[in-house]
Amino acid sequence: MRSHQIAVLPGDGIGEEVVREGLRVLDAVAEMEGFSVEKTHYPYGADHFLATGETMPESAFEAIGQMEACLLGAIGDPRVETGMLERAIIWGVRQTFDLYVNLRPVKLYSADLCPIKDKGPEDVDMVVVRENTEDAYAGLGGIHRIGTPQEVAVAEMIYTRDGVERVIRYAFEHAVKRNKNDAPQVTLVDKSNAIRAQDIWTRTFAEVASEYPNVKTDHAYIDAACMWMVKNPEWFDVVVTPNLFGDILTDLGAMVQGGMGVAASGNIHPGKVSMFEPIHGSAPKYRGQNKANPLATIEAVRMMLDHIGEPGGANRIGQAVKHVLESGRIKSLSAGAHATDEIGTIVLDALEQGVGV
């Protein structure tokens, strides 16, 4: 029997509840497809930090490095200094394993869920390839003379040729694979008119594009891209963009596809251990209330299965989620509209019926 090793990091807030539903779905699919999954759970997050003073130890990174993938719930808790756990755990995993692609599909399953008038599933179907290891996230900079009138705060945006090229190349490969409408297209989103350092993106994009004569290219500045994503989402196929813009653009994308309740992401280094997570946060106010929507985590499990070489299982989940959202059984993707475990059960029902498979 095929067997896979994954790490599970539920994290903070609603992380635990949404991950629980994701794992129910994973177990069901494993049984249907005839593979097994060995899961190692890790307790890292705010509770663990407050009890022990430890964020995430070296030994955990080493252990995860031996696995195929990691499923993460959410990190962030108001009891802990802003950003500290996010940097240690989310950014820690992204950096340690050089997960240079943050793959974020923006796909609308049912017109009812779209906040944009007259737009349906055929209009909202794109993938954002967010660079995931550089930019303002790299941590170069700091705060000096803190608390004085002379205080200076600096955060550098870093782009390396290798870092930019590999993610752009991934975007082109992904567009070829997706082959949307038999006319693949990659759009570069940047702010090279104001941030001239991003000229490295402009030049590298043009060079890589020349190797893909069958892929159409397009360009939008980030401010305009936000507008087009709402006005004409059908214009996009694959979008490639630096880290910070990708972070912002994909929250907008999540709304266009129906809400944070359904938006998933893969932090990927092709062929190596990678991390999958919902793009929403930890929503501490909903913790333990069985209100959070687990569909984004279920979608993250789907992406994880694709990564670890179980496309049949990934397809089952994709079809089940599609069926559930098209059927109108879920009236809203917002927290509290349905119980967390109720949505898990609805998806499991669809899986057991084998919809679309």
Which residues are designated catalytic?
Answer: 137, 191, 223, 247, 251
Binding residues for ligand IPM, rule CB under 6 A, total 4
Phi, psi of 30 (to 5 degrees): -60, -40
Given the complex with ligand IPM, which of 249 and 305 has the nearer CB atom?
249
Count of chain residues binding Mg ion (CB under 5 A):
1
Taking CB under 6 A as the rule, which mask of x and - marks residues 257-296 in contact with ligand IPM? Answer: ----------------------x-----------------
* Site track 217-256 with ligand IPM (rule: CB under 6 A), x = hit: ------------------------------x---------
Answer for the pair 309, 272: CB distance below 8 angstroms, yes or no. Answer: no
CB of 345 to ligand IPM, least distance (A): 28
Between 131 and 310, whose beta carbon lies closer to ligand IPM? Answer: 131
Neighbours of 3 (CB within 10 A): 9
239 contacts: CB under 8 Å, gap ≥ 6: 126, 127, 128, 129, 171, 186, 187, 189, 225, 249
90 binds, among ligand IPM, Mg ion, none (CB under 5 to 8 A by kind): ligand IPM
Scored b (16 or more CB within 10 A) or e, 206-219 reads: eebbeebeebebeb
Binding residue for Mg ion, selected from 12, 16, 135, 247, defined by CB under 5 A: 247
What region, left, alpha or beta, does residue 17 occupy, with left being phi > 0 and alpha being psi -120 to 50 degrees? alpha
Report the residue number, 80 or 348, with the smaller CB distance to ligand IPM: 80
Q: For the sheet containing 35-41, what is the strand order? A: 35-41, 2-11, 69-74, 274-278, 264-268, 101-107, 125-131, 238-241, 185-190, 216-221
Contact 38, 277 (CB under 8 A): no
Q: How far is the CB of 280 from Mg ion (least distance, A)?
A: 9
To the nearest 10°, report the CA torsion of 28, 32, 37, 40: 0
- Minimum Å gap between C-beta 276 and ligand IPM is 11
> Please, are residues 243 and 128 in contact by the beta-carbon 8 Å criterion?
no
Backbone dihedral angles phi then psi of residue 57, each to the nearest 5 degrees: -75, 160
Residue 86 within binding range of ligand IPM, rule CB under 6 A: yes
CA 214 to chain CA centroid, nearest Å: 27
- Shortest reach from residue 86's CB to ligand IPM, in Å: 4
Instruction: Identify the helix (H) or strand (E) that includes residue 69.
Output: strand 69-74
Pick 124 or 275: Cβ nearer ligand IPM: 275
Residue 90 in the binding site for ligand IPM (CB under 6 A): yes
Which CB sits closer to Mg ion, 91 or 172? 91
Min CB(251)–Mg ion separation in Å = 6
Residue 86 binds which of Mg ion, ligand IPM, none (CB < 5-8 A, kind-dependent): ligand IPM
Minimum gap (Å) between residue 319 Cβ and ligand IPM: 26
Placement of tokens 């430890």 in the chain: 54
The footprint of Mg ion (CB under 5 A) covers 247
The footprint of ligand IPM (CB under 6 A) covers 86, 90, 247, 279
